[in-house]
Amino acid sequence: MDFVLRTFPRHLSEDVACDTNIRVDFMVDLNSQLLREEHIVLWNVTEQKPVSIRYEYRSRTLIIKPRESLSPRMHYQLQLVGGEKGIRDIVGRYMPESYQIEFFTKDVDGIKPPVLLTPTHLSEVTEKPTFTWSAVEHAYAYELQISSTNTFHNVTWPPSSQLIFGTSVKPDVKYEQGRYYARIRAIAEDGTKSAFSDVIQFYVNINDFQKPPETNFPIRTNTRIEQNSQLTVLEQYFSQQNQSSSEKLRIVSSSPKHRSSHFPVAKLQKIIVEFNEPLDPNSVTSQSCYITEEKN
């Protein structure tokens, strides 16, 4: 039995205003006494994080209100939870399956995102980088974010919200060897926030990580103790070199591409995922690799 009649925005809508409230019209009366916030999940797909909401239900209509304005140029997903622990109608029947819609927010008017100038995309840095960006008309301040993930659900810097008044900053970050991502947005004097800039990726290869441990090799090795000491130092050095040169397993490319839409299913005979390193075939199972189907 279908519970949902229609939604606004509709599934896969684009250019949705950031201050939009989401409306869901039902074909049956819901049991409002059993309706809970955990039955309504609003998810920021771009940043891989939940969105806090409030809701109102009246006369077969559910209004979902984000507690803060949605971010511009983002991909969102709304899920209404079905099943035995999900939404029920007034006679006790539960919605057989969870219901999902996705939509994309539009850019804000009046203030545009800056462009990150340094470090450049896909560059390698050997010291703590200074970030610079283009000035934006009507910008009062800027917010820079640095993360070890391209979804920014774990922000490395700043540890809390921090405004930057100017077009450059050198964050005091304890970088580790590896890849980092950065983005920035502008904030108007009235608090309006632009969309985030395009994400840049850079590789940290700081000199301190590459320096071998200090060694004082004796000119002559007259004793067994001195020989063992040298061997220990060499083992530690090469161990550190191996660790620093190792790279995390990651996906290089896929076919169809990530977030592809409107792909003709009839032509889809196989899905190809390419990694940067060989996989252990025993680790590829139906539990670690599977396809999910979206029902609307």
Q: Where are the domains of the chain?
A: 4-105, 116-208, 251-283
Q: Return the CATH class of domain 116-208.
A: mainly beta
CA dist., res. 239 & res. 117, Å (int): 36
**pTM for the full predicted model:** 0.63
Q: How confident is the model over 143-164, as a mean pLDDT?
A: 93
What pLDDT is recorded for position 237?
Answer: 56
Confidence band, pLDDT 50/70/90 cuts, at residue 209: low
- Non-local (6+) Cβ contacts of 79 within 8 A are 40, 41, 43, 98, 99, 100
Residue 135 has pLDDT above 60, yes or no: yes
CA dist., res. 61 & res. 21, Å (int): 12
Q: How confident is the model over 282-289, as a mean pLDDT?
A: 75
CA dist., res. 123 & res. 197, Å (int): 17
Return the CATH fold of 4-105.
Immunoglobulin-like (2.60.40)
Tell me if 4-105 shares its fold with 116-208: yes
Confidence band, pLDDT 50/70/90 cuts, at residue 121: very high
CA angle 189, 193, 198 (to 5 degrees): 135
Cα dist. 97→27, 93, 100, 104, 240 in Å?
15, 12, 10, 24, 52
Q: How confident is the model over 255-284, as a mean pLDDT?
A: 74
Residue 215 has pLDDT above 70, yes or no: no
276 vs 240, higher pLDDT? 276
pLDDT per position as a tens digit, 28-48: 999 999 999 999 999 999 999
Compute the mean pLDDT over every residue in the chain, rounded to the nearest whole number: 85
What pLDDT is recorded for position 45?
Answer: 94
